[in-house]
A = this chain, B = another copy of it.
């Protein structure tokens, strides 16, 4: 084959086969993986990467690049093939090491590991929904930073989405919101291959997908043959002109080219087998050897087609230099925010709450902190899943982000917790923003899929989870979290903070804002909690260490340690007073965050929880799971290992034995032993 003699159409076909067989060869080599999607949709990725998307493989973080999300992450080899061919730092050797220890080509795409991978996908629906977050972030970035001819933000968010994505509720929620918000920069190509793992989509997925998306307010178009590059180009070009989000329904054939497995579920998630692979190569006119074959003309062609992106990149850099001259402040802000840095002395905006024995709910002090920070941190991008007044997440004087007001910084997510979680991931991945979103702690269950991904992707997302225990009272067990603190603490790289009162709330927000490589949960009370007089108690800054001595034994030699998080700290204070009257001196440890405490030195941890003090009592209005670690064999955990009830919360605390009196009795018992 000669490059000169190759027409465009020929090189297109060669390129498609290159992609298909890079994927199939990798899956067969790994003896594990998903050949069906890459073989069926090579054309879609090829069209996007060579004819529509603008990017520079040497600078995958370019803020104005087009984004591409492979929401159907199991087709990872399609993405790896495209990144390799497009010139990203992903050599062929990595493709040959697909799914092996230490490679950059894991089973599903992972953000932060492979250059050019925009997000970690695999759990279906997540990529779809996080793309909506990127489109929201795009709109606000454009509204904030673009100036007349300086269109710094002017790009698209593309995704390949599958039947599985469209079936997942998180995608439905996000699609409804995307339609409402008229996010015209979203262009999703739907792999309509009519096959799911269990067989034909006829067995379970017969809804009219196009009509559903029209109902959401999307622009829907059709490409009847995935391999018709012209039709794809036209559809994508038309979608780019749309003011609404676009769904392009692409009729495709899973495992295209496989002699016996094409159009069957068998093509989805297992190696084709050597014979089937050889048959496909024969059928599509591809050399049997070498495996991982990339013809020179295909390499040349990718290089040529990538030139437009590189040129656009250089043009943008020049524009950006002029922008920074003309709009110095915005330029600095853009650089600061895209670098993930907070402004100097931002902490000075953190409120200092006056002592108050009546105090306020920690959700209320959180609301005050948000509003105090809003002015100095334009990157804060808030919202709530239809519980704004309860979560206290609103920014006073700020209207909602809407189709007519792209610069606003508050998102009404609707009753769509899972989409909120995924959209916040997309906003965080976009960079330049710190998303926070509110719901009740109990409904963290609805968005765990997205919270886990935030943790895995090391993204800064802040969850404002109020009504954090039976302390919410009358709404009853459906709304009272009991297992949720434990369940969230179990997620690696997620920091859970449950502050005891207003000044600890300030510190909790400081911690969340400083945590640039993972998400943070703020668990906040519905009920009022006293704000401590820090002349009588140790400084709230201790909360930054996760646990600290709130008040020590009068003589500095505690007979026992009382420890608690959040609203139960005050029960410890009362118990300590009672015990002191009885001549028993105890230390009170406020313990808002296990994760922050674990990150401290052993010396610090031993200074708070001295190994020699075995008489320890912990109290928390939730399940006891995990507390044994902190109280030791001889300690006592006062907790609720059952669901709550509907009643005024004071009654519940009494009925469930979460009282100063119970703490006193427990301390007396452990001291005796």
Interface residues of A (CB under 8 A from B): 30, 32-33, 73, 99-103, 106-108, 110, 120-124, 163-164, 167-173, 176-177, 179-180, 196-199, 203-209, 211-212, 214-217, 384, 386-390, 400, 402, 412-416, 418-419, 442-443, 445-446, 448-449, 452-453, 455-456, 473-479, 482-484, 486-487, 489-493, 623, 625-626, 628-629, 632-633, 641-643, 645-648, 651-652, 655
The 9 nearest A-B residue pairs measured at CB: A169-B169, A106-B646, A122-B478, A172-B172, A101-B647, A211-B215, A483-B490, A164-B415, A212-B215
Q: Is the CB of B448 within 8 A of A101?
A: no
Contact of A216 among B207, B388, B415, B629 (CB under 8 A): B207
Given contacts A215-B209, A490-B483, contact A655 B101 (CB under 8 A): yes
Given contacts A101-B645, A625-B486, contact A207 B474 (CB under 8 A): no
Contacts of A100 in B (CB 8 A): 646-648
Bound complex: CA of A209 vs CA of B456, how far in Å? Answer: 35
13 residue pairs from A and B, CB less than 8 Å apart? A107-B479, A123-B443, A167-B416, A169-B171, A197-B390, A198-B388, A208-B217, A211-B211, A211-B215, A212-B216, A489-B625, A493-B642, A626-B626
User: A400 — nearest CB in chain B belongs to which residue?
Assistant: B203
Q: Is the CB of A415 within 8 A of B124?
A: yes
Q: Is the CB of A197 within 8 A of B388?
A: yes
Known: A177-B204, A197-B386, A198-B388. 6 other contacts (CB 8 A): A122-B479, A179-B207, A180-B206, A445-B449, A486-B625, A486-B626
Chain B nearest CB: distance from A651 CB in Å?
5
Bound complex: CA of A103 vs CA of B648, how far in Å? Answer: 12
Given contacts A110-B476, A645-B101, contact A386 B198 (CB under 8 A): yes
Contacts of A453 in B (CB 8 A): 478
Q: Is the CB of B99 within 8 A of A416?
A: no
Q: Name, among A384, A493, A625, the residue most crowded by chain B CB atoms within 10 Å (CB to CB).
A: A625
Stoichiometry, copies per complex: 2
User: A611 — nearest CB in chain B belongs to which residue?
Assistant: B633
Chain B nearest CB: distance from A249 CB in Å?
13
User: A216 — nearest CB in chain B belongs to which residue?
Assistant: B207
Q: Is the CB of B418 within 8 A of A169?
A: yes
Chain B nearest CB: distance from A21 CB in Å?
20
Contacts of A199 in B (CB 8 A): 412
Q: Is the CB of B626 within 8 A of A479?
A: no
Q: Is the CB of A196 within 8 A of B476?
A: no
Q: Is the CB of A493 within 8 A of B416?
A: no
Bound complex: CA of A629 vs CA of B206, how far in Å? Answer: 49
Given contacts A168-B173, A474-B32, A478-B456, contact A196 B386 (CB under 8 A): yes
Contacts of A419 in B (CB 8 A): 169
Bound complex: CA of A180 vs CA of B446, how far in Å? Answer: 24
Contacts of A445 in B (CB 8 A): 448-449, 452
Q: Is the CB of B474 within 8 A of A99?
A: yes
Q: Is the CB of A217 within 8 A of B206?
A: yes
Contact of A492 among B167, B207, B483, B645 (CB under 8 A): B483
Q: Is the CB of B198 within 8 A of A207?
A: no
Chain B nearest CB: distance from A101 CB in Å?
4
Bound complex: CA of A180 vs CA of B473, how far in Å? Answer: 40
Contacts of A475 in B (CB 8 A): 107-108, 122
Contacts of A474 in B (CB 8 A): 30, 32-33, 99, 107
Contact of A476 among B108, B167, B207, B490 (CB under 8 A): B108
Bound complex: CA of A198 vs CA of B642, how far in Å? Answer: 32
Given contacts A214-B211, A642-B492, contact A203 B478 (CB under 8 A): no
Contacts of A446 in B (CB 8 A): 123, 168, 170, 448-449
Contact of A414 among B73, B204, B452, B633 (CB under 8 A): B204
Q: Is the CB of B168 within 8 A of A415?
A: yes
